[in-house]
Amino acid sequence: MTSAESHEGAGLRAVASPERPIISSKPLTVEIVPGERLQEQIGLLPAAGADARTLRLEVEGVRSEWNPEVGIRVFLNLPQADASTSTDDPHYVTTFTFFEHKGGEHEGGTEQSNHVRHEEHGNHEDAPQTFYADLTPTLQELHAAGLYRQGEALQTTLIAVPIATDAESNQRAERTIPFTGVAVALQE
């Protein structure tokens, strides 16, 4: 895994490349080590409450077969999370899901109003996408519970989970979903 920090526009950003760039039913944890400047700004988030800036997680280069029965669960700083870990756990961030549109057009979507964008133009099913999630509320909750301290690395655990509970959906969750990396960016 590699981790780096860069200045992107007015926001700060740190990126990490996974050792195993595959999301599957086997949990994958990617550690992002923010640089000193970004870590300082992240340290201000817990005390800012509702006025906090957005610390955005980006899961980059996701390629799927547009499988609407599979989602990707995301946990923050819980590397032991797996498909049975409750979505009520304070480390839970969101579940990214895939949606099919009529007429052969595809678009990604997510639970909890997170956003996705295509990295390539057109309606190509395998066009890589970036999924976004707001980490600020989860980070604030973890800090309040004593489960996060300023200066700690941010560990993002990704797990493919079936959306439905039938055997066919469980088989689909066993498929792998390639991606290129994760990043965190502090938005103005």
In this prediction, residue 128 carries a pLDDT of: 86
With a cut of 50, which residues of the chain have pLDDT below it?
1-11, 101-123
Percent of the chain with pLDDT over 70: 71
Asked if residue 55 lies in contact with residue 134, where contact means CB atoms within 8 angstroms, the answer is yes
Say if pTM beats, i.e. exceeds, 0.75.
yes
CA distance 75 to 186: 18
CA distance 126 to 132: 18
